[in-house]
Amino acid sequence: MAAISRDTNETLIASRPPPTPQGGMVSWLRTRLFSGPVNSVVSLVTLLLIVRLIWPVIDWALIEADWTGSSRADCSGEGACWVFISTRWSQIVYGFYPMAERWRVDIVLALFFMLIAWLVIPRLPAKKIAALLGLVVLPIVAWVLLLGGLFGLPHVPTRAWGGLMLTLTIAAVGIVGSLPLGVVLALGRRSEMPLVRAMCVIFIEFWRGVPLITVLFMSSVMLPLFVPANVEFDKLLRALIGIMLFWSAYMAEVVRSGLQAIDKGQSEAGAALGLGYWLRMRLIILPQALRLVIPGIVNTFIALFKDTSLVLIIGLFDVLSIIQAGLTDSAWLGFATEGYVFAALVFWVFCFGMSRYSQILERRLDKGYQR
Amino acid sequence: MNDRQQGAATAGEVTSMVEISRLNKWYGDFHVLRDIDLRVARGERIVICGPSGSGKSTLIRCINHLEAHQQGEIVVNGIPMTNDVKRIEQIRRNVGMVFQHFNLFPHLTVLENCCLSPIWVQKKPRREAEKSAMEYLERVRIANQAHKYPGQLSGGQQQRVAIARALCMHPAVMLFDEPTSALDPEMIKEVLDVMVELANEGMTMLCVTHEMGFAKTVADRVIFMDEGQIVEAAPPETFFNAPRSSRTREFLGQILGH
Of A231, A252, A107, A115, the residue nearest A178 (C-alpha): A252
Average pLDDT over residues A179-208: 92
Q: Specify whether A198 is located in the same domain as A281.
A: yes
What integer pLDDT is reported at residue A24 of this predicted model? 76
Q: Specify whether A245 is located in the same domain as A165.
A: yes
CATH number at B103 reads 3.40.50.300
Q: Is B131 on the interface with A (CB under 8 A)?
A: no
Q: CB distance A269–B92 less than 8 Å? A: no
* Per-residue pLDDT at A92 exceeds 90: no
Average pLDDT over residues A264-281: 94
Q: Are strands B16-27 and B30-41 parallel, antiparallel or unpaired?
A: antiparallel
CA distance A31 to B168: 58
- Cβ atoms within 10 Å of B21's Cβ, excluding its own: 13
Q: CB distance B107–A291 less than 8 Å? A: yes
Q: Specify whether A127 is located in the same domain as A216.
A: no
DSSP A346-370: HHHHHHHHHHHHHHHHHHHHHSS--
Q: Three-state SS for A74?
A: helix
Confidence label for A369 from pLDDT (cuts 50, 70 and 90): low
- Cβ atoms within 10 Å of A68's Cβ, excluding its own: 8
- Residue A138 belongs to a domain: yes
What integer pLDDT is reported at residue B223 of this predicted model? 94
**Chain B contacts of A275, Cβ < 8 Å?**
116-117, 120-121
Q: Specify whether A215 is located in the same domain as A317.
A: yes
- Residue B3 belongs to a domain: no
Contact B226, B66 (CB under 8 A): no
Q: Which domain holds residue A108?
A: 103-153
Q: Specify whether A212 is located in the same domain as A224.
A: yes
Query: For residues A207-234, b (16+ Cβ closer than 10 Å) or e, as one string?
Result: beeeebeebbeebbeeeeeeeeeeeeee
User: Which residues partner with B95 through β-bridges?
Assistant: B173
Distances in Å between the Cα of B45 and the Cα atoms of A109, A324, B49, B164, B195 are 66, 79, 13, 18, 11
Of B62, B82, B49, the residue nearest B18 (C-alpha): B62
What integer pLDDT is reported at residue B224 of this predicted model? 94
- Residue A60 belongs to a domain: no
Q: Is B103 on the interface with A (CB under 8 A)?
A: yes
Confidence label for A242 from pLDDT (cuts 50, 70 and 90): confident
CATH number at A218 reads 1.10.3720.10
Backbone angles phi, psi at A21, to 5 degrees: -65, 145
Q: Which amino acid is at B233?
A: A
Q: Is A193 on the interface with B (CB under 8 A)?
A: no
CA distance A173 to A241: 9
Record the pTM. 0.82
Which is more confidently placed, B98 or A25? B98
Backbone angles phi, psi at B73, to 5 degrees: -130, 145
CA distance A24 to A221: 65
Average pLDDT over residues A9-21: 82
Q: Specify whether A138 is located in the same domain as A191.
A: no
- Residue B9 belongs to a domain: no
Backbone angles phi, psi at A28, to 5 degrees: -60, -50
Which is more confidently placed, B153 or A88? B153
Q: Specify whether A193 is located in the same domain as A221.
A: yes
- Residue A231 belongs to a domain: yes
Q: Is A272 on the interface with B (CB under 8 A)?
A: yes
* Per-residue pLDDT at A180 exceeds 70: yes
- Residue A46 belongs to a domain: no
Of B155, B129, B197, the residue nearest A273 (C-alpha): B129
Q: Is B124 on the interface with A (CB under 8 A)?
A: no
- Residue A371 belongs to a domain: no
To 5 degrees, how large is the angle CA B124–CA B130–CA B133? Answer: 100
Give the contacts of B115 (CB within 8 A, at least 6 positions apart): B126, B129, B130, B133, B168
Q: Three-state SS for B96?
A: strand
Contact B175, B60 (CB under 8 A): yes
CA distance A319 to A326: 11
Q: Specify whether A171 is located in the same domain as A138.
A: no
Of A218, A181, A217, A219, the residue nearest A200 (C-alpha): A181
Confidence label for A231 from pLDDT (cuts 50, 70 and 90): low
Q: Specify whether A107 is located in the same domain as A189.
A: no
Q: Is A287 on the interface with B (CB under 8 A)?
A: yes
Give the contacts of A97 (CB within 8 A, at least 6 positions apart): A105, A156, A160, A161, A162, A165
Q: Count H helices and E strands in chain A, helices first.
A: 19, 2
B81-87: long-range contacts, CB 8 A cutoff, minimum separation 24: B85/A276, B85/A277
Residue A114 CB-half CA count within 13 A:
9
User: Which residues partner with B75 through β-bridges?
Assistant: B19, B80
**How many structural domains comprise chain B?**
1
Arithmetic mean of pLDDT over chain A: 84
Q: Three-state SS for B40?
A: strand
Scan residues 5-64 of B and list those with Cβ closer than 8 Å to A. Answer: 64
What integer pLDDT is reported at residue B13 of this predicted model? 45
What integer pLDDT is reported at residue A232 of this predicted model? 66
Q: Specify whether A136 is located in the same domain as A263.
A: no
Q: Which domain holds residue B138?
A: 16-257
Q: Is A368 on the interface with B (CB under 8 A)?
A: yes
Which is more confidently placed, A209 or A59? A209
Contact B115, B169 (CB under 8 A): no
Q: Among the three residues A116, A131, A153, which one is the final residue of a domain in this structure?
A: A153
Q: Three-state SS for A81?
A: strand
A84, exposed or middle or buried, with CB in 10 Å at 0-12, 13-18, 19+?
Answer: buried
Q: Specify whether A124 is located in the same domain as A185.
A: no
List, for residues A299-308, the tens digit of each pLDDT value: 999 999 999 9
- Residue A24 belongs to a domain: no
Instruction: Kindly report the length of chain B.
Output: 258
Residue A194 CB-half CA count within 13 A:
0
Q: CB distance B121–A265 less than 8 Å? A: no
- Residue A68 belongs to a domain: no
Residue A310 CB-half CA count within 13 A:
20
**Best of B92, B109, B110, B119 to disrupt the A interface by mutation (most A CBs within 10 Å)?**
B92
Give the contacts of A103 (CB within 8 A, at least 6 positions apart): none
Contact B61, B67 (CB under 8 A): yes
Of B191, B193, B218, the residue nearest B205 (C-alpha): B218
What integer pLDDT is reported at residue A368 of this predicted model? 56
**Best of B58, B66, B102 to disrupt the A interface by mutation (most A CBs within 10 Å)?**
B66
Distances in Å between the Cα of A88 and the Cα atoms of A121, A321, B10, B165 are 32, 13, 90, 63
User: For chain B, which ranges sit under pLDDT 50?
Assistant: 1-14
CA distance B177 to B100: 6
DSSP state of A63: I
CA distance B160 to A19: 39
User: Which residues partner with B225 through β-bridges?
Assistant: B230
List, for residues A127-169, the tens digit of each pLDDT value: 788 888 888 888 888 887 777 777 877 777 777 888 888 899 8
Q: Specify whether A305 is located in the same domain as A338.
A: yes
- Cβ atoms within 10 Å of B188's Cβ, excluding its own: 19
**How many structural domains comprise chain A?**
2
Among chain B residues, the shortest Cα distance to A292 is held by B107
Q: Is A275 on the interface with B (CB under 8 A)?
A: yes
- Residue A191 belongs to a domain: yes
